[in-house]
Amino acid sequence: MIYLPKRAAFVHIPRTAGHSIKAAVSNVCARNNIPFVVSTVPSWIKEFDRVEIHQRASTLKGYIREWPDIYRFAIHRPIQERIESVCKWVEHLRQIGFNKDPNTSSEIKEFIERENYREWIAENWKHYTTQFFTEGVYGEDLGVEIYPFEELHDRWDEICRKCQIPQCELSRLNTPSGV
Q: Is the pLDDT of residue 103 over 50?
A: yes
The pLDDT value recorded for residue 111 is 86
**Between β-strands 2-4 and 145-148, what pairing exists: parallel, antiparallel or unpaired?**
unpaired
**Which percentage of the chain shows pLDDT scores above 90?**
75
pLDDT at residue number 48: 62
- The whole-number pLDDT of residue 92 equals 93
pLDDT classification of 149: cutoffs 50, 70, 90 = very high
pLDDT at 179 over 80: no
pLDDT of the residue at 43 = 65
CA distance 131 to 24: 25
Q: HSE, CB side, 13 Å, CA atoms: give it for residue 59.
A: 15
Higher pLDDT, 44 or 9: 9
Confidence of residue 174 (pLDDT cuts 50, 70, 90): low
